[in-house]
C-alpha cells in the first residue's frame, strides 16, 4: 500500500460498522490491487465506493461522502481526472482542517 492508500484505508476502517471490518478489508484490498496493476476504472471505483458506503456507521456517512467526492467527480467528468489525481485530491481533503467537520478528529 502506498501512503495515500494507507491513509484512505485507515480512514475507512475507523468508520466501518462493527463486525464489517473483514468485508471492508476485502473491498479495499481488491481496489488497491486494481490500482497497482492498472486495471482500475470508474466503474470499479463507483462499485467500491457503494460497497464501502453500505458498511459505514451512520454517523460517518457525511465524512465518507466528503472524502470520496473526488472519486465521484472523476466519474461525473468522464474520467478527465485520473484515479491517482482523484486519490490525491481526496487525501488533501482528509488532511485539510475543516472548522465545520474535521474528518481527522472524528472516528
pTM, to two decimals = 0.70
Per-residue model confidence (pLDDT) at position 99: 46
Q: Which helix (H) or strand (E) holds 15?
A: none
Question: Do 71 and 93 contact (CB within 8 A), yes or no?
Answer: no
Kindly tell me if the per-residue pLDDT of 88 is higher than 90.
no
Asked whether residue 104 is assigned to any structural domain, the reply reads: no
Asked whether residue 21 is assigned to any structural domain, the reply reads: yes
Kindly tell me if the per-residue pLDDT of 98 is higher than 60.
no
- Number of structural domains the chain divides into: 1
Angle of helix 21-37 versus helix 42-53 axis, rounded to 10: 170
Asked whether residue 27 is assigned to any structural domain, the reply reads: yes
Asked whether residue 22 is assigned to any structural domain, the reply reads: yes
Per-residue pLDDT tens for 29-78?
Answer: 999 999 889 888 888 888 999 999 999 999 999 999 988 887 755 555 55
Helix (H, G, I), strand (E, B) or coil at 31: helix
Amino acid at each position: 500500500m502506498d501512503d495515500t492508500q494507507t491513509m484512505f484505508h485507515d480512514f475507512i476502517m475507523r468508520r466501518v460498522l462493527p463486525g464489517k471490518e473483514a468485508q471492508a478489508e476485502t473491498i479495499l484490498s481488491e481496489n488497491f490491487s486494481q490500482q497497482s496493476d492498472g486495471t482500475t476504472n470508474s466503474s470499479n471505483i463507483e462499485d467500491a465506493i457503494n460497497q464501502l458506503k453500505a458498511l459505514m456507521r451512520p454517523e460517518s456517512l457525511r465524512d465518507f461522502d466528503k472524502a470520496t467526492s473526488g472519486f465521484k467527480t472523476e466519474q461525473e467528468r468522464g474520467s478527465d481526472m485520473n484515479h491517482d489525481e482523484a486519490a490525491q485530491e481526496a487525501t488533501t481533503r482528509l488532511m485539510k482542517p475543516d472548522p465545520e467537520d474535521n474528518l481527522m478528529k472524528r472516528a
